[in-house]
Structure 1
Amino acid sequence: MKKLLLVRHAKSYWGNPSLPDRERPLAARGERDAPRMARRMHANRIFPEKILCSDAIRTLQTAEHFLAVYAKQDPEIEKTADLYHASSGSILQHVRQTPDRIDCLFVFGHNPGLTDLVNSLGERLDNLPTAGVFGFRFATSHWKEIGRKNASFWLYDFPKNESAKTF
């Protein structure tokens, strides 16, 4: 079984309109929410073996908060420009290239691609909020085989989720 967690970057800072989009950092709310979500995943014993991350500053900063919480697990990290505002198909293509020795993969990226991927894998979601996490399990041993036919809902959590609990 393969486990995929899609993580939207935390809230970004919009105070400098001349800053290129790719270089926008996290806002204060993002700096608060990213570690909170990382701690929730850790508390639920969800441990990434690998993190695949867009190279946008806000996405890297979000992933760094998760890496700090998961320091003892020492997950691999791969940063790629290809995930910056990637389509759902492009994200899925990258996920399918994951080595089969990895069972739990976290992908840090952007909307609308992440929300579109959730929907294309068979779940209904209007919008994955900033710092939101959506998880799937796949009934396969090979990443290249994942898709709607073998996807099942695992979890959905986000910072304003007051009923967050163990999954």
Structure 2
Amino acid sequence: MKTLLLMRHASSGWDELSLADRARPLDEKGERELARMTRRYATRGVRPELIVSSPALRALATARALATTFGQSADDIRVDDRLYCGSARALLHSIGELDDAFDRVAIVGHNPELTELAHHLARDIEFLPTCAIATIEFDAPSWAEALRRKAASATLDTPP
């Protein structure tokens, strides 16, 4: 069984227009969303063995909070440039290359590609708002095989 957690980064600020897009930090709303979502998700018992994040500051901050929630080191977060301004196809490629030793992987990134990917993998998921987590399970022995199969189950958790 392979479990994929697709998490859209928490809300980010647009206050500092001189910042490059990659450097935009979380805003106060994002910090609140993230605290609530990580607390709530910790009770669900689906602990990712690996967290892969976009290199953008807002995604990395979200990934770090997720890692902290599950007692993991922020140093263990894998950064993948394909998760920033990529496409759903690029995300599929990245997931297909994951080490099959990991059964539960969290991907932290951006829209629209995360929503497109979630919808492709689980038709019931139509939109990922900021800080949402789509949990998609596959009855498959490998990530490459999982991506060729229909999801066994899918849920979407959104910030309250």
One-letter code aligned to 2:62 = T
CA contact (8 A) 2:64 2:77 kept: no
2:54 alignment counterpart: 54
Partner of 1:82: 82
Q: Deviations over 1:121-163 (max 9, x none)?
A: 1313342100000111111010111225331333211112xxx
RMSD (Å), alpha carbons: 1.5
What TM-score comes out, normalization by structure 1 length? 0.89
Partner of 1:65: 65
Cα deviations across residues 67-91 of structure 1 (Å, max 9, x unaligned)? 11111x5584201222102211111
In 2: Cα distance, 1:119 partner to 1:19 partner = 31
Q: Counterparts of 2:2 and 2:21 in 1: how far apart (Å)?
A: 33
Report the TM-score when normalising by structure 2.
0.93
Match of residue 35 from structure 1: 35
- Could you tell me which runs of 5 or more consecutive residues in structure 1 were left unpaired when the two chains were aligned: 161-167
Are positions 1:19 and 2:19 aligned together? yes
Which structure 2 segments of 5+ residues have no match?
none
Write out aligned runs for 1:122-161 (5 A).
Answer: 122-147=122-147, 149-160=149-160
**1:118 aligned onto 2:123:** no
**Larger deviation, residues 7-16 vs 77-86:** 77-86
For 1:7, give the aligned amino acid.
M
Worse-superposed segment, 123-132 or 4-13 = 123-132
Cα contact 2:96–2:147 (8 A) shared by 1: no
In 2, are the aligned partners of 1:120 and 1:148 still within 8 Å (CA)? no
Once structures 1 and 2 are overlaid, which stretch shifts more, 37-46 or 74-83?
74-83
Worse overlay, 142-151 or 9-18: 142-151
Verify the 8 A CA contact 2:125 2:156 in the aligned structure 1. Answer: no
Residue correspondences, number: 159
CA contact (8 A) 2:122 2:154 kept: no
For residues 18 and 53 of structure 1, what CA distance do their matches in structure 2 show?
24
Aligned residue type for 1:88: A
